[in-house]
């Protein structure tokens, strides 16, 4: 039983001593924390947990992506601006004000932010509209590290008994 405790303690200490960041592949450059902070969105709870939110909507007709619209919620604690939609059209289309319009043979797609109208006059077309909501806890590693440190402390106390 004492051998198992020693093995668990050794593994826990090795995990705690492992490096936090891996080496970047050749030709890659790390982005500064300031630049990353300016691009992240979401909010921070009272307990310090940082939550990022984003919405992505894509329209696919016959397996070809027509529109990809993204909305990243800015840091609500520091901004007073409303978030803006970012729409990408891989195929030929045009933008009128806040709307994007794509006219293909038999199909018209009107994309206005997350509101999308698809008018199809042809039979047998496969139309997909996917809305993906991303909610991510950014500093979850901090909470995991705290839990790991508690586990190591408990194992050290048990090993000393």
Q: What is the pLDDT of residues 29-69, one digit of tens each?
A: 777 777 666 555 565 667 666 777 778 888 888 888 877 87
Residues 111 and 158 in one domain: no
32 is a domain residue: no
Q: Which helix (H) or strand (E) holds 119?
A: strand 115-120
82 is a domain residue: yes
CA dist 110 and 10 (Å) reads: 60
Instruction: Map tokens 């939110």 to a residue.
Output: 53
pTM here is 0.46
Q: What is the DSSP string of 15-78?
A: HHHS-SSPPPPTT--PPPHHHHHHH-BBEE-TTS-EEEEEEEEEEEETTEEEEEEEEE-BBTTT
147 is a domain residue: yes
* Model pLDDT for residues 79-103, shown as the tens digit of each residue: 556 566 666 655 555 444 444 555 5
122 is a domain residue: yes
Whole-number pLDDT of residue 113: 59
Whole-number pLDDT of residue 18: 44
Number of domains in the chain: 2
Whole-number pLDDT of residue 75: 56
- Please check the confidence at residue 115 and state whether its pLDDT lies above 50: yes
Q: Which domain holds residue 143?
A: 1-16+45-49+139-161
| pLDDT level of residue 139 (50, 70, 90 thresholds) | low
Q: What mean pLDDT, rounded, does the chain reach?
A: 66
| pLDDT level of residue 6 (50, 70, 90 thresholds) | very low
4 is a domain residue: yes
Residues 7 and 73 in one domain: no
């Amino acid at each position: 039983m004492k051998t198992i405790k020693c093995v668990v303690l050794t593994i826990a200490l090795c995990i705690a001593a492992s490096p936090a960041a891996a080496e970047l592949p050749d030709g890659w450059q790390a982005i500064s924390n300031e630049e990353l902070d300016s691009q992240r969105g979401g909010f921070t709870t009272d307990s310090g947990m940082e939550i990022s939110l984003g919405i992505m909507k894509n329209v696919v007709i016959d397996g070809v992506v027509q529109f990809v619209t993204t909305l990243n919620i800015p840091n609500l604690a520091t901004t007073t601006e409303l978030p803006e939609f970012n729409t990408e059209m891989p195929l030929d289309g045009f933008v009128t004000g806040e709307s994007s319009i794509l006219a293909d043979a038999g199909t018209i797609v009107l994309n206005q932010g997350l509101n999308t109208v698809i008018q199809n006059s042809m039979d047998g077309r496969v139309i997909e509209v996917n809305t993906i909501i991303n909610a991510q806890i950014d500093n979850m590693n901090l909470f995991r590290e705290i839990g790991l440190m508690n586990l190591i402390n408990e194992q050290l106390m048990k090993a000393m008994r």
